Structure 1
């Protein structure tokens, strides 16, 4: 059974209780508490605001794999994919049997439940948990660090979301998925631990590139001494970072979650079968790099001050007070020759009438119309048409 055939039956094991990015701690607790007996649930501790952080253990194999998600409260795709994985592990097929016999999984969904409640990156103390490994000032960082120290995993999956403005070098496509085997030192050395992570990523890329061509990138491996991935790598856990980016017409990342799930499953399959050993470091470094050559909105053939330019516009997404939705504010991020770029939405201002002002690094506040019909309109940074 290959990954493509599994995704063809995705609806049969997708966790249907999670339908957007804004689910909360109270929404996942019933999913955890109603797991079958073969899933061992343990409360590892509580967050700043008293919400439980739980671990789910499954499998009887010797290879230990730890997977954790939503260290950043507004990065929910990995959590959705983990619950899809939990559902998939309850089905009967050859991959589930192989994983059960080969691996012991420790899954920690929603490391930052207080951040998820507010749909913000940081925890209730305004700390970025993924920059708190050294001081472990936050209870969430302490819990995650202790979980790894106690479980001593051979492999780790660090599950995140990234900005939708990352693109894949040479494609002008959004980086829907990005991978990294984090560095464990400033010299970005490669030892056997990090090499294993690289080889697993190479195996994942081989599977996923067929499903998601030109939409997969590799992050720069600059060392971050405060991050969990870098330090877990240094501690002996081969750590695989997965980031969910953007995909056309998928604001709630319901299509991306399928590819995310497929990435996790592909990695687990490579580990349990030892197929990753058939890959090389060269395969890892051959994965296209991430860059930033896309905008949210790109407008060509705009005449400003007597010259024809392109205008690149991006939005910032901010949570509403209830934590159940967001609002977007748009600003002009570039003006000039953007012929080497692309965007999620592209407009042509040729033969259009411009009203308002387009100012670099300012809120979008203009209208484009054609034959008295609005084509695109912003008011004080808000998209109105």
Structure 2
């Protein structure tokens, strides 16, 4: 299967009802209602604030595959990609890829596990609990739902869909990580058993399918065992669990290109599973994926004269959701000062002929002007970007 060829017609099945990252539960419900006549839909449970969490079942094949998204309410790319997948399966009904996938697999989709967090565009739920650290106690309503669905389905494979910070880069690359993958560990030593080995093989197939479209932009996430996390425990329970982290692409401000790549990664993984082609791939291929690394700033000011020396200044922002959950506000702080020649940024300013007016204090809010002659290039007031 040539993923790049399928993506040529992506706009024909892209879910147009989800246009940005700030969509809410009611937006998703309208889409799921539209699909109710085509795919089996059931109520999986409710969030703390009473919002429905629905499970969709697609296909009739013997291999059970569980796909869940938005455990963190502000990580929306996976939910978008799952809705694109539903449209693709309808759009491609009767095609060789759709027929193979749906005859070999039964897909169980649980989109928007954390609808209360989505309402606020918040990582955590209404009780301020990180659901992905609530497997053991399952104190939150949402963790109970996710855990119960996994126990009911008993899937052979699982796709754990997340978004990662846009400050993650790829080792030995100047790019941000557009996608990152992981076959989570199921114990402290990071042992390898059959199902984790299968997850590794599937990820290697996904990497092979997408690397030509994302050269230098695919990373491998840290595999430190987290005993409270769902992915690690599902791996432990016998489900070959594949973590997909949507990242960032420079210029893709609304994360729609990343969304397309997450869809492509899911489809490539499902294709490898349904055709059993993953069995031909290797652990070494998986381990060849470069590690994620923190090698990026949001803004990098290079070679500016400051406090008697030529130096560079790295600036990052902390995104804070607005009270209505429909946008974010960015609060900038000084992340680093010094030799930053090995780093990259979304915006780079070569400032050897510029001047700084104001205070530059490490680990404090940005509060200065960057000026070239009579022109103000950047202006910050107590962490708020005034102009650029």
- Shared fold per TM-score greater than 0.5: yes
The within-5 A match list for 1:285-364 is: 285-364=287-366
Q: Which residue matches 1:125?
A: 127
Give the CA deviation at 1:10. Answer: 0.4
1:73 corresponding residue in structure 2: 73
- 1:157 and 1:117 mapped to 2: Cα distance? 23
Matched, 1:115 2:156: no
Q: d(CA) in 2 for partners of 1:330 and 1:246?
A: 19
Instruction: Write the distance in 1 (CA, Å) between the matches of 2:236 and 2:311.
Output: 48
The alignment status of 1:45 with 2:45, answered yes or no, reads yes
| Correspondence for 1:17 | 17
Give per-residue Cα distances to partners, 1:338-376, cap 9 Å, x unaligned. Answer: 001111110011111211111110111111111201112
State the match for 1:169 in structure 2: 171
Q: 2:189 aligns with which of 187, 190, 200?
A: 187
| SS of alignment partner, residue 73 of structure 2 | coil
Q: What's the CA shift string for 1:174-202, capped at 9, x where partnerless?
A: 01110000000011101011000000000
Q: Is the contact made by 2:304 and 2:355 (CA closer than 8 Å) also made in structure 1? A: no
Which residue number in structure 1 is paired with residue 242 of structure 2? 240
The 2-side partners of 1:351 and 1:309 are apart by 13
The Cα offsets for residues 237-291 of structure 1, whole Å up to 9 and x where unpaired, read as 0000001111112222111100010000000000000111111001111101100
**Secondary structure, counterpart of 2:340 in structure 1:** coil
Q: Report the counterpart of residue 231 of structure 2 in structure 1.
A: 229
User: Are the equivalent residues in 1 in contact too, given 2:15–2:84 (CA < 8 A)?
Assistant: yes
Residue number in structure 1 paired with 2:201: 199
Aligned to 1:262: 264
Alpha-carbon distance in 2 for matches of 1:373, 1:304: 18
SS in 2 for 1:384: strand
Structure-2 residue corresponding to 1:157 = 159
* CA–CA separation in structure 2 for the residues paired with 1:252 and 1:259: 13
Q: Does the CA contact (< 8 Å) of 2:81 and 2:262 recur in 1?
A: yes
Q: For 1:140-196, what per-residue CA distance to the aligned partner results, in whole angstroms no more than 9, with x for missing partners?
A: 001000101100100000000010000000002101110000000011101011000
Tell me the TM-score normalized by structure 1: 0.99
> Structure 2: 5+ residue runs without aligned partners?
none
Between the aligned partners of 1:258 and 1:101, the Cα distance in structure 2 is 24
SS in 2 for 1:149: helix
Partner-residue secondary structure (3-state), 1:171: coil
CA shift, 1:36, in A, is 5.3
Q: Deviations over 1:119-144 (max 9, x none)?
A: 00001111000000000001100100
Aligned partners of 2:192 and 2:212: how far apart in 1? 28
Distance 2:369 2:36 in 1: 56
Q: Distance in 1 between matches of 2:247 and 2:322?
A: 21
Residue 384 of structure 1 and its aligned partner are, at CA, apart by 1.3
Contact 2:206 2:269 in 1 (8 A): yes
Indicate the SS of the match to 2:129: coil
Please tell me the root mean square deviation across aligned C-alpha atoms, in Å: 0.8
Report the count of equivalent residues: 385
Determine the C-alpha separation between the residues in 2 that align with 1:305 and 1:330.
21
What's the CA shift for 1:37? Answer: 3.2
Structure 2 residue aligned with 1:30: 30
2:386 equivalent in structure 1: 384
Q: SS of the counterpart of 1:329? A: strand
Secondary structure, aligned partner of 1:20: coil
Contact 2:305–2:355 (Cα < 8 Å) also in 1: no
* Matched residue SS, 1:34: helix
Listed one character per residue, the Cα deviations across residues 26-78 of structure 1 (whole Å, up to 9, x for unaligned) are: 00111111115341000011000000000000001011000000000000000
Q: Which residue of 2 aligns with 1:4?
A: 4
